[in-house]
């Protein structure tokens, strides 16, 4: 069977709409009945990646493919790229501009947090060309089917 394929634009510097892509993906996973803990990991990881694209890279696009056992999320931007991935993976390291930091973003937790929530993370980055993050989250447990007390 074909996966469900969702696409979302990510607008650079637009903090008002930031998070819409990950929220759209989360809605889809919930509607599909994916295990809540996997939904949470996928949405937290995707949100961080989406915010990174908004803050650092002038936006980009998100491609989401949902399979019966996993979701694959690609966040692609055409920003400056990451010169030192190892450094960027360290907690607290940040190059976020002041405007972003003032809003509570850019605490340097982005990439490490994505890593923590993803089952697999691939970073494909070229300085001056852009970055593509591929986040994989597996649905370990089957969808909950036990009805609630009133269902």
Partner 1 sequence: MELRHSVRLDRDKCVGCTNCIKRCPTEAIRVRDGKARIAEPRCLDCGECIRICPHHAKSATMDGYDVLSRYDYRIALASPSLYAQFGPPATRAMILAALRATGFDDVREVAAGAESVTSATLAELLDPDRATALPLISSACPVVVRLVQMRFPGLIPNLVPFDSPMEATATVARREAAAATGHDPSRIGVFFISPCPAKRTAARQPYGRERTDVDAVIAIADAYPRILACLEKMDPVALHEFEARTLAGRDGIRWGNIGGESLALGTERFLAVDGIHSVIEILEEIENERLRDVVFVEANSCIGGCIGGVLVVANRFTARTRLKRSIESAAVSPPAHDVAREAARLLRWTLPLAPNPALQLDADLELALAKYERLERIAKELPGLDCGACGAPDCRALAEDIVNGEATEQDCIVRLREQLRGTLETTAPEGGVD
Of 33 and 83, nearer to partner 1 (C-beta) is 33
DSSP state of 142: P
Give the one residue of 19, 24, 80, 112 binding partner 1; rule: CB under 8 A: 19
User: Could you tell me the smallest distance in angstroms from the CB atom of residue 65 to partner 1?
Assistant: 11
Taking CB under 8 A as the rule, which mask of x and - marks residues 78-117 in contact with partner 1? Answer: ----------------------------------------
CA–CA separation, 88 and 109 (whole Å): 9
Element (H, E) at 77: strand 70-77
CA–CA separation, 9 and 89 (whole Å): 25
Q: Map the footprint of partner 1 across residues 40-79, applying CB under 8 A.
A: 40, 43-44, 47, 66-68
Taking every pair of C-alpha atoms in the chain, what is the biggest distance, in angstroms?
56
Give the one residue of 33, 91, 120, 129 binding partner 1; rule: CB under 8 A: 33
Tokens 């969702």 locate to 6
Residue 148 interacts with partner 1 (CB under 8 A): yes or no: yes
From 21-29, 54-62, 83-91, 128-136, span contacting partner 1 (CB under 8 A)? 21-29
From 27-35, 52-60, 76-84, 120-128, span contacting partner 1 (CB under 8 A)? 27-35
Residue 142 interacts with partner 1 (CB under 8 A): yes or no: yes
Helix axes 36-56, 20-32, angle to 10 degrees: 160
3-state helix, strand and coil shares in percent for the chain, rounded to the nearest 5: 35, 25, 40
Q: How would you classify the pairing of strands 70-77 and 4-11?
A: unpaired
Could you tell me which residues come within 8 angstroms of residue 146 by beta carbon, excluding any fewer than 6 positions away?
Answer: none
Q: Which residues bind partner 1 (CB under 8 A)?
A: 1-4, 19, 22-23, 26, 28, 30-34, 36-37, 39-40, 43-44, 47, 66-68, 139, 142-151
């Amino acid at each position: 069977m074909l996966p469900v394929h969702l696409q979302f634009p990510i607008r650079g510097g637009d903090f008002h709409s930031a998070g819409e892509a990950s929220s759209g993906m989360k809605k889809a996973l919930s509607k599909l009945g994916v295990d809540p803990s996997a939904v949470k990991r996928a949405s937290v990881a995707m949100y961080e990646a989406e915010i990174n694209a908004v803050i650092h890279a002038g936006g980009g696009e998100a491609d989401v493919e949902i399979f019966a056992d996993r979701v694959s999320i690609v966040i692609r931007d055409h920003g400056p790229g990451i010169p030192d991935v190892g450094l960027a993976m360290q907690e607290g390291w940040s190059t976020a501009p002041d405007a972003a930091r003032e809003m509570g973003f850019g605490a340097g937790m982005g990439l490490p947090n994505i890593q923590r929530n993803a089952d697999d993370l691939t970073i494909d980055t070229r300085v001056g060309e852009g970055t593509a993050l591929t986040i994989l989250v597996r649905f370990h447990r089957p969808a909950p089917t036990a009805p609630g007390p009133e269902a």
